[in-house]
Each structure stands twice: as structure tokens, then as C-alpha cells.
Structure 1
Amino acid sequence: MTSPLQQKIKITGPSVVTANRTVDGVVVYRSADQRWSTNLADAAIVRDAPTARALLAEAAADDVGAVGAYIAPVLIAADGTVLPGNLREQIRRDGVSITLPSVR
């Protein structure tokens, strides 16, 4: 498997770096102040491959705080709200998309 840092990065719109927190697996986003946040609105938005590559490299170096960092697309709403850019990221942010059966 090829490391995300070795793959060719294509940016077609606004994107963020996301990963999973090592302590509990929660989805986190890399912020401009080089921290991890559980809030997508705190994520640093990148718009070109060199900036994305730099943010991804910095995030991947923090493998104690989070693992599996990669670049994910986002949408910017007219009011400036940052939204997941595809179904995968929406599910990662919101949780499962079906009602799970109750455990007895």
C-alpha cells in the first residue's frame, strides 16, 4: 500500500486533512494552528496541491495524536459553513446512515 505522502495529490476544490484520533478513534480535522479538532469548522482549508501536501506531511508526523491522515474534499456553503464534500466524509462526520437494531 502506498503512503498518502507518496501518492500524487489532486485538489479539485477546497479540501481538509482528516484522520482518526488515536485515543478513541474519533474523526478529527487538522487546524491551521497545527492541532486536531473534532469540529470540521476548525479545519484548515487548502486549495492547491503543494499546500495540501505540506499540511498532510505535518499531520502525518503527529502519529501520536491521530493516525491515517488523508486529504478530504469539503464544500463551502454561501454562508461560509464548511460541509463534507462527499458521502464518505458525511458518514464519518455524522455516523452511520441507517438505524441500527437495538441490543437486548
Structure 2
Amino acid sequence: MVAPQQQKLRVTGPVAITGNSLAEGIVVWRTADGTWSRRMSDAAVVSTSEEALALLQMAEKDGINAVGCYVAHVATDSQGRAKPLNLRERIRTEGPTVALPGQV
């Protein structure tokens, strides 16, 4: 069995790198300047496997600030900022898809 990091990465559209803040456990996104942001719209968006792999490798080396890093397929708005493409990333960025008790 091949480790996920050693599998060939296929990028077929815009992607961003995400993980969880080690200190707070919140969702964070890797920015173009190599920092982490709570806002998905701040994420560095790339469109090639080579760019995504480079961002992912740098993110994984930053194990003090974020863990569980992976490449997430994203959509982009008219300014090229990342926004959720699938349900998983929508839930991670916006919260549950149903109203929780006390939120009605």
C-alpha cells in the first residue's frame, strides 16, 4: 500500500490546501505567503499538480501550526478567491447544513 503523500496527485481544476489549526482545532487554509488563515477566501489557489504538491509539502512541514493537511478542490469567485466546491468543504467553512437546537 502506498502512503497518501506518495500517490500521484491529479489536479483537474482550482485547488487549495487546508488543514486544522493544532492550537485551536479550527479549519485553516494555506495562503500564498505561507501562513494560515481562517478564511477560505485567503487561500492560495493553484491549478496544476506540481503547484499543489509544492504547497502541500510546505504545509505538511508546518506541523506545529496545522495538521491533517490535504488538497481540496475549490471553486473561485470573480476575483479568483477560493469558495467551497463540495459539501465537505462547505460544512468545514460554513458549519452544519441543518439548524442546530437553539438556532431556529
Q: TM-score under structure 1 normalisation?
A: 0.88
Greater Cα offset, 13-22 or 93-102 = 93-102
Larger mean CA deviation between 57-66 and 72-81 belongs to 72-81
- Runs ≥4 residues deviating over 6 A: none
CA deviation after TM superposition for structure 1 residue 3, in Å: 4.2
- Equivalence for 2:71: 71
Distance 2:81 2:65 in 1: 26
Instruction: Flag structure 1 segments of 5+ consecutive residues without an equivalent.
Output: none
Residue-pair matches, total: 102
CA shift at 1:81, angstroms? 4.3
The correspondence of residues 42-57 of structure 1 with structure 2, limited to 5 A, is 42-57=42-57
**Alignment root-mean-square deviation, CA:** 1.6
Unaligned runs of 5+ in 2: none
Distance in 1 between the 2:16 and 2:47 partners?
A: 9
- Asked if the contact 1:5/1:53 (under 8 Å) is kept, the reply is no
Asked if the contact 1:20/1:68 (under 8 Å) is kept, the reply is: yes
C-alpha spacing 1:22/1:82, structure 2 compared with 1 (3 Å) = same
Q: Judging changes above 3 Å, is the alpha-carbon distance between structure 1 residues 93 and 3 closer, same or farther for their aligned structure 2 residues?
A: farther
CA distance, structure 1, for counterparts of residue 99 and residue 6 of structure 2: 38
- Cα distance change on mapping 1:29 and 1:4 into 2, 3 Å: farther
Aligned to 1:85: 85
Letter in 2 for 1:16: A
1:5 and 1:56 in contact (8 A); partners too? no
Task: Assess if the C-alpha contact under 8 Å between 1:4 and 1:70 holds in 2.
Answer: no
What is the rounded CA distance, in whole Å, between the counterparts of 1:90 and 1:57 in structure 2?
24
Partner residue, 2:20: 20
